[in-house]
Structure 1
Amino acid sequence: MTTREFTADNLRRILLEGAGADEGVDLDGDILDVRFEALGYESLALLETGSRIEREYGITLDEDALAVANTPRALIATVNSQLRMATA
């Protein structure tokens, strides 16, 4: 069985679809280690992002895991971990 991978491009798309982007924030830049708050995404936007990821990828993300994943790199790693567990 092939495991889907969640990428930075997937995250950018979902962030833009769900919450848009603040003026002056370039999501196409090097954002992997920038805190979501600095990118203009607060807890409500991240919950919406998590919900969209769950629906699209058929996984469940723990709210605590979402709270700890405070950068795009951390969220991508969390999602990919769940994807691996779902196909194991």
Structure 2
Amino acid sequence: MVTTVFTLEDLRRILREGAGEDVDLDSNILDTSFEDLGYESLALLETGVRLGREYGIELDDATLTDIETPREFIAAVNEQIGRLAQATV
């Protein structure tokens, strides 16, 4: 059974792995747009690839390009994790 919950700290770590330490992700970024954080759609697609490798889940490209904030990203990931957990029950 999948019991993992994806958190803001998980997202921060994955974003840093992809973009390095140049972006300030330590403040309250939950409702800050990825654009304001300096992440364009290509960076989010890369984040999705990293997410898939680590968590074994996939957010489709349309979902990734529609997501505007870290809060929305975390919600989408946790929704997928929940679906996987239900599928394994």
Name the % identity.
60
Q: Please name the residue that 1:42 is paired with.
A: 40
Instruction: List gaps (5 residues or longer) in structure 1.
Output: none
Corresponding pairs, count: 86
TM-score using structure 2 length = 0.90
1:18-57 alignment runs, 5 A limit: 18-22=18-22, 25-57=23-55
Deviation at 1:26, TM superposition (A): 2.2
* Alignment-derived partner of residue 8 in structure 1: 8
Match of 2:69 in 1: 71
TM-score, normalising length from structure 1? 0.91
Are residues 52 and 83 of structure 1, via their aligned partners in 2, closer, same or farther at CA, if it must alter by over 3 Å?
Answer: same
Q: Is the 8 A contact 1:4 1:83 kept in 2?
A: yes
Give the alignment's Cα RMSD to 1 decimal: 1.2
**Residue 87 (structure 1) aligned with residue 85 (structure 2):** yes
Q: What 5-or-longer segments of structure 2 have no aligned partner?
A: none
